[in-house]
Structure 1
């Protein structure tokens, strides 16, 4: 009994320390963002007169409205297409006996080891040949391809854990492969699809490298990518820079807090097993 209490106490202390370490950078940025303009924040000190108007100034000078619209357009172009293709491919590799399926899955596993930095230069010249440089398509199309290995692996892991008897029963009832997919498998895969959608949203919203390399116009980048231009313009104003950074981080934090239950549910149901 004492050992159990000691383990519980140790676990709680560890979680509290982890939470503090995680929140400390955000609290530091918030305290810096509330300092008077023109000052240099020093350490973790809460201002006596918080300047909440700094967030409005950062929103205005960074043209945050246009950046928000651009990020939403890029997310709308990447996430639905990626999730749809990954769900169909995961079903084919996890439930159907697709010729060459193991070879395709092996290639996808190799794709998981490929960092974005290794392909950014070839992507630049490819987008240049296609005439897509400095357009949102230069971000959307590469991201769909680069996300596919993980997305297909995620969905295949789910479909592989679905009992084969469900598919056999649907076949006996006369369901076609398409009906089996949409009416039986997709409803069961909703937690996995929801969690994958959340991940795709967060990764796309926070995409930085491709945005700054393939797009010169900050108004056509993701919000994270536009942070580079914002830093170059206002890098000497640390107060405004911290306020703008927090504004960029806020949407991803809100999305994760709203949909965290779906994400945890997918993990509990074994979406990563396979």
Structure 2
């Protein structure tokens, strides 16, 4: 057996072991939370153990006590506004930076990328007072507008990488046929960018749904709290009932898991496309 064949097999085996290790690192904690949620209310939970009688009423109690109906509705409202607006603006910005050459384009794009290095924690306090001055705190817009701006640097960078990979001959042929710049963008470029846009939209949704710090500070009205912020308050008030806390955690993360299971092919395709062409 040649050395190259042995080396290839060793690389495959190593890759398989690493992938299984990462999968275990994700699935084992999730399984522990799911099993803990089925134990009797207030019971101590240790390790991965299946209860003698599953107690699904923990989910009903968590839903009722925490008021997850309004919390999930608030999170869904914010995410369903942030995702289309953010994806649209990011796609337009990526198209401009990727296909057009105008004065100061490189400088402007470099300035935009600075946003990738700024943590939200550094801006949350001045952001709170700015929004309070214009009367937007404790409203959905207090979270929608900052999140769109927060995600724009990555979104523009992501879409620019895609449009740079598209052959310029496509756009040039459309312009020769008399198509306007808007027509080139809408009819030629957007169809090629659907996997990248779908992946970006999924990332925006997950980030918006999981947003905790901004939601905790900018929206303090209980009726408008998001699911992660509501979960934080719920944990503070029920620190001893571990099964119910695990049930509440599963309720909050269920939409994200469902979205991934439904759109995983689009996510993987978009990631792969970006890795190959970006």
Shift of 1:271: 6.3
> Does 2:127 match 1:123?
yes
SS in 2 for 1:40: coil
Residue in 2 that maps onto 1:231 = 235
Task: Give the structure 2 partner of residue 245 of structure 1.
Answer: 249
Task: Structure 2: state its 5+ residue gaps.
Answer: none
Aligned partners of 1:205 and 1:150: how far apart in 2?
17
User: Structure 2: how far apart are the matches of 1:120 and 1:29?
Assistant: 31
The TM-score normalised by the length of structure 1 is 0.95
Q: TM-score, normalised by structure 2?
A: 0.94
With over 3 angstroms needed to count, the CA separation of the structure-2 counterparts of 1:102 and 1:271, relative to structure 1, is farther
Confirm whether residue 74 of structure 1 aligns to residue 78 of structure 2.
yes
Alpha-carbon deviation of 1:7?
2.9
One of 80, 93, 107 as aligned partner of 1:89: 93
Is 1:55–1:244's contact at 8 Å kept on the other side of the alignment? yes
* Alpha-carbon separation, structure 2, partners of 1:144 and 1:7: 42
Q: CA RMSD in A?
A: 1.5
Give me the whole-angstrom Cα distance separating, in 2, the residues matched to 1:129 and 1:31: 47
1:180-195 aligned within 5 A: 180-195=184-199
Give the match for residue 204 of structure 2.
200
Among 75, 95, 110, the alignment partner of 2:114 is 110
Structure 1, 199-208 or 260-269: larger mean CA deviation: 260-269
Shift of 1:57: 1.4
CA distance in 2: counterparts of 1:80 and 1:232, whole angstroms = 34
Partner residue, 2:14: 10
1:179 matches 2:183: yes
Closer, same or farther: CA 128–272 of 1 in aligned 2, 3 Å: farther
Give the paired residue count: 274
How far did residue 180 of structure 1 move? Answer: 0.5
1:258 maps to: 262
Q: Where does structure 1 lack aligned partners over 5 or more consecutive residues?
A: none
